[in-house]
A and B are shown apart, each in its own frame.
Chain A
Amino acid sequence: MTDAKAVELAAVTKRYDAALAVDAVSLKIRAGSYCCLLGPSGCGKTSTLRMIAGHESVTDGDVLIGGRAVTEDPPARRGTAMMFQNYALFPHLSVAENVAFSLRMKGVSRTARLTRAAELLELVSMSDYAERKPNQLSGGQQQRVALARALMTEPSVLLLDEPLSALDPFLRVRMRSELRRIQRELGITFIHVTHSQEEAMALADLVVVMNEGRIAQAGPPREVYNAPRTPFVARFIGGHNILDDGGRTITLRADALALAPADAAGEANRRATVREIEYRGPDVRVGLETDRGESLSAVLAERAFFERPLEPGAAVAVGWRPDAVHELTPDG
């Protein structure tokens, strides 16, 4: 395998006719890191990935890979490889020939390229399926083949477009850890587009939250979760309560709220009524409506909740520690 390379975007812009898909995005992704581009559909994350891959032209700005500007290079000369959302395995070729495709294009002899393909199929534990056709494989197996095919070009950067979205939830979690394992083993840079915050947090060294063609926040998952920059990030990442607090917009993690009986608390921050109770296994989510009309969500550990269970309609006092308050800057 080749060395990992850093990826840098310098004010990259993508415009489709009148619509601005990506608005002057600048970003540095360290060599060998796992980066997730996260955001709702239409936020520009896929366009950004496709511009890095070279499948979409860059309207303005530059893409640098390993310090070299590749903005005008064709995909195959960028040292990147892309894994497509539906995998795009060639239906008329066997698994082995799919994996060997890039070597075949270079004119490598059949025996040589199939030998190399066998090695990569070994890496993704698909050796037994080399002679099958893609339509005889399950979604998870197709994904492994697509991965092996992309790795055949010995990329410095692997680009993954929603690689897990076609899989069922159970398989998704398994393939997720497998992607992380392979990334560690190869040590190359992975850039992974997803709309699932859970996926991004589980995988990424660097989470890039995008909204309306711009980066709302970029940072390690823990930083993004604990200190979301804007209300959008807090909402998208989930588990946060956004409140207006004397002219400031603040956020409180749902697990930072303490509930006490309505008459007990002297220093309650809000008084509220329980609207719904959702049992989730390890914890319980309590939906609340405060006397100021705000909706809050509190997450309590299962045991703590059942020591003093609540019913919908109960009046409670909601409190939080001053250091749990995190101030947000407005969106945009």
Chain B
Amino acid sequence: MKETRPRSFYVLSCVFALFLLFLYGPMISILVLSFQGPEGGLVFPMNGVSLHWFEKLREGGGQVEIGPALRRSFRLALVVMVLTVTFSVLAGLAFRRGFRGATLLLYVAIASLIVPSIVVSLGIALEFRLIDEGIKALGAAWGIEWIQRDFVSALGPFTSGLGAHLTWTLPFGLLIMFAVFNRFDPAYEEAARDLGATPWQTFRHVTLPMIAPFLIGVAVFGFTLSWDELARSSQVMGADNTLPMQLAAKTTTVTDPEIYALGTATTGSSILLVLVTFTVATLLQRRRQRG
């Protein structure tokens, strides 16, 4: 017997195909164009196939100078990742026990997801202007020499920039921890307590190992959200640029496919990062089950 598919199947398939095309089409175009021949331009058709633009990228000194921005973005993403995991776990534990004003605090945290990113960025920049003026006023009033001579601004990737990224990653991390702790049976902790574990031992030997697989998720989330954030970064990095900012700036001025080579390289390393973390997570899970 041959099964016939309803017509809706074909219609929905077309919709899905379109979805895939829009999802991966741009990425594939860039991937293909990054292998453009030395004489090729920014658009199709391909003028030969080569690794020319990757080599140029590796040598540096071309139109796209991204080394410092890349290193800065990587360091920032790492710091954001560590802080996001730490704070999310602690906040998750606190919300689980309940405290006065918990609901209000939750709404405030979620609200920062709703406020447009660019507004958050601008607001933080304005706030730091005020802080700068305050510091300068202090320097003048108390005659602190280095402030008067060297201080320009407190704005920077690891001050205002870090804060801006955390307004984005912390609510996500917190929401994930909510979901995790919602399904976490307190009987495990009671059992540990019953067996003589101190609160710290209970956390260290029972709670933490049990939520560890989810923390990998929070970490990857924190890292990637910071790594490709543009809008929230735009006003708050001071004199420095992060990688997405650098790329955004370059797209308006660059005239050769080196930028595509960069896109391919960074996308590739992101995918690699995700693959590595998931492999590690799976291996951990398997080791746990095998025993």
Interface residues of A, Cβ cutoff 8 Å to B: 53, 55, 74-76, 80-82, 84-86, 88, 90-92, 94, 101-102, 104-106, 131-133, 135-136, 149-150, 152-153
Q: Are A88 and B187 in contact (CB under 8 A)?
A: yes
The 10 A-B pairs of least Cβ separation, nearest first, read A76-B196, A102-B195, A88-B191, A88-B187, A133-B291, A92-B209, A105-B197, A75-B194, A84-B187, A82-B194
Q: Report how far A135 CA is from B210 CA in the complex, Å.
A: 13
- In the complex, chain A residues whose CB is within 8 Å of the CB of B201: 105
Q: Which of A88, A104, A136, A149 is the one whose CB lies under 8 Å from B188?
A: A88
Bound: A189/B201 CA distance, A: 28
Is B96 among interface residues, defined by CB-CB distance under 8 A?
A: no
Chain B residues lying within 8 Å of A133, measured Cβ to Cβ, are: 288-291
A-B pairs with beta carbons under 8 Å apart, 10 shown: A75-B190, A76-B195, A81-B195, A82-B190, A84-B190, A92-B210, A94-B291, A105-B195, A105-B205, A135-B289
Which of the residues B190, B196, B197, B288 comes within 8 Å of A92, measured between beta carbons?
A: B288
Q: In the complex the two chains form, is B196's CB within 8 Å of A106's CB?
A: yes
Chain B positions within 8 Å of A86 at CB level: 185, 187
B206: interface (CB < 8 Å): yes
Instruction: Say if the beta carbon of B58 comes within 8 Å of chain A.
Output: no
Q: How far is the CA of A82 from the CA of B210 in the complex (A)?
A: 21
Q: How far is the CB of B181 from chain A (nearest CB, A)?
A: 16
CB-CB < 8 A to A91: which residues of B?
210, 288
Which residues of chain A are within 8 angstroms of B198 by Cβ–Cβ distance? 105
Are A131 and B291 neighbours in the complex by a CB distance under 8 Å?
yes
Nearest CB on B from A88, distance (A): 4
Report how far A153 CA is from B198 CA in the complex, Å: 15
Q: How far in angstroms is the closest Cβ of chain A from B285?
A: 10
A136, B291: Cβ atoms closer than 8 Å: yes
Interchain CB contact under 8 A, B193 and A76: yes
Smallest distance from the beta carbon of A129 to chain B beta carbons, Å? 10
CA A105 to CA B201, docked complex, whole Å: 7
Task: Give the docked Cα–Cα distance between A101 and B194 (Å).
Answer: 11
Is the beta-carbon distance between B194 and A132 smaller than 8 angstroms?
no
Known: A88-B185, A101-B197, A105-B196. 6 other contacts (CB 8 A): A75-B193, A88-B191, A90-B191, A132-B291, A153-B194, A153-B196
